[in-house]
Amino acid sequence: MFSKILIANRGEVAVRIIRACKEMGIETVAVYSQADENSLHAEMADESYCIGGPLVKDSYLNVDAILTVAARAGAKAIHPGYGMLSENPEFAVICEKNGIALIGPSAEVMEKMGQKELARKIAKDAGVPVTPGSGILESEEEALEEASRIGYPVILKARAGGGGKGIRIVRSAEELVPAFRQVRKEALISFSDDKVFLEKYLEGVKHVEVQILADKYGKVIILGDRDCSVQRKNQKLIEECPAPVLNEKLREKMYEAAGNLAAYVGYTTVGTVEFLVKDDSFYFMEMNTRLQVEHSVTEMVCGIDIVEWQIRTAAGVGIDFSQEDVARKRHAIECRICAEDEKTFRPSVGKISLLHIPGGVDVRFDSALYQNYEVSPYYDSMLGKLIVCSDTREGAIRKMKCALSEFVLVGVDNNRHMHMRFMENKQFVDGSYDTGICRKVLA
């Protein structure tokens, strides 16, 4: 087992990783930007080092600074969290060359599955259903030809995209060329890679993902599934585990497909296979080769510490439990609390003058917030994740309504009231909602 781990991230996920390490008896090293000097993760870690200015490129993406700190502190491994450097195969290679383990799958797997058009081909080769699509598009003319072949509507995707960036839905040939230019520009700015491809856009679908855990000895465990269909501009807002209105026959087929894909690519540690579900059919969308924001909602149901097992499997520890040991009987819901104006959805900044976190049985708030914390404009607007669990979905909805009503955050605009609207929405309550629900609830 690793004796000391550097966390190359910030905020809620850095705090989550530090907590797991402390429970495992592992020393932790935090890195922080000048804007995060008073951050909770920097205070909680055994050692903390400032690595640059407030901009992400000057600090949390500063590979040289991170590796220098790792060497100075004697860290045996780096946990990248999610976002930042978490799916960067070049970073994985550099870590390996420096004798440091990156907690995640191999650089080879990361590179293959991180290129979305290549991941589609691999999934198809592994027997996983995929939607009609194209290869990398080299020109506007090729984009028009491929869109005509696939049939509108289509969706343009950056091959290196993520976090809702580098995606545009196109419903006609007239929209395609400007959208193609826009996606390439956004992809180049966000991911330093302007390669894009096309997929058939399916409407009225559910976005369901399967959480996997795999060790270095070929054992793959399915920890459950999540419905992530509540999205605004491709950004997830609410997740629940398990996905409602998903029959067991279809669920088992998705589990089998996810497990087969993980085995086919030689996957290790924690990952997620994302699907689009339409009626009784499902289609591969992408594979996330990292820890995800919404891992917490699955932990509440399966009773397994996903971060702890991510670290264990990265260190070469074999999984010591079976698929039958994974609990599936309860239901959990997660609401992402974001610093934003509820009418315009613009990010909000400021000092938190009052904070009350709800409590009670099976209520959890994953966050790096504290009273008088200064929310800066430099990073993602997510402040934390409010998670509840109950024996039934109806009970989980009631518990979430109670938790939201108790949650108090003064000083920064946030989306608590928006989440309450979803908990009282008929389509959400009956579980029949799809990826179009935000257009109806937030209209």
Q: Residue 243 gets which letter from DSSP?
A: P
Do 26 and 4 meet the contact criterion of CB atoms below 8 Å apart? yes
Where do we find the tokens 């269909």?
Answer: 229
CA distances from 179 to 115, 139, 410 (A): 20, 13, 39
Which domains are seen in the chain, by residue range?
A: 4-103 (3.40.50.20), 132-200 (3.30.1490.20), 206-441 (3.30.470.20)
Q: Which tens digits make up the pLDDT trace of 381-431? A: 999 999 999 999 999 999 999 999 999 999 999 999 999 999 999 999 999
More confident residue, 310 or 1: 310
Do 409 and 354 meet the contact criterion of CB atoms below 8 Å apart? yes
Do 372 and 365 meet the contact criterion of CB atoms below 8 Å apart? no
Q: Which tens digits make up the pLDDT trace of 114-129? A: 888 889 899 999 999 9
Which residue, among 200, 281, 203, 211, has the nearest Cα to 246 in the 3D structure? Answer: 281
Tokens of 89: 């195969």
Enumerate the active-site residues.
290
**Chain-wide mean pLDDT for the chain?**
94
Q: Which distant-in-sequence residues (6+ apart) come within 8 Å of 43 by Cβ? A: none
Query: Residue 163's pLDDT is what?
Result: 65
- Please state the rounded mean pLDDT for residues 328-351: 94
CA distances from 364 to 36, 206, 228, 399, 432 (A): 24, 26, 19, 11, 26
Q: Which range among 155-164, 368-377, 424-433 shows the weakest confidence by mean pLDDT?
A: 155-164
CA distances from 163 to 121, 191, 349 (A): 22, 11, 21
Q: How many residues does the chain have?
A: 443
- What's the CA gap between 443 and 438, in Å, rounded? 8
Q: Which tens digits make up the pLDDT trace of 54-108? A: 999 999 999 999 999 999 999 999 999 998 999 999 999 999 999 999 999 999 9
- Please state the rounded mean pLDDT for residues 280-307: 95
Helix (H, G, I), strand (E, B) or coil at 269: strand
DSSP string across 144-197: HHHHHHH-SSEEEEEEEEETTEEEEEE-SHHHHHHHHHHHHHHHHHHHS---EE
Share of the chain above pLDDT 70, in %: 99
Which residue, among 443, 438, 440, 441, has the nearest Cα to 207 in the 3D structure? Answer: 438
Per-residue pLDDT at 111 exceeds 80? yes
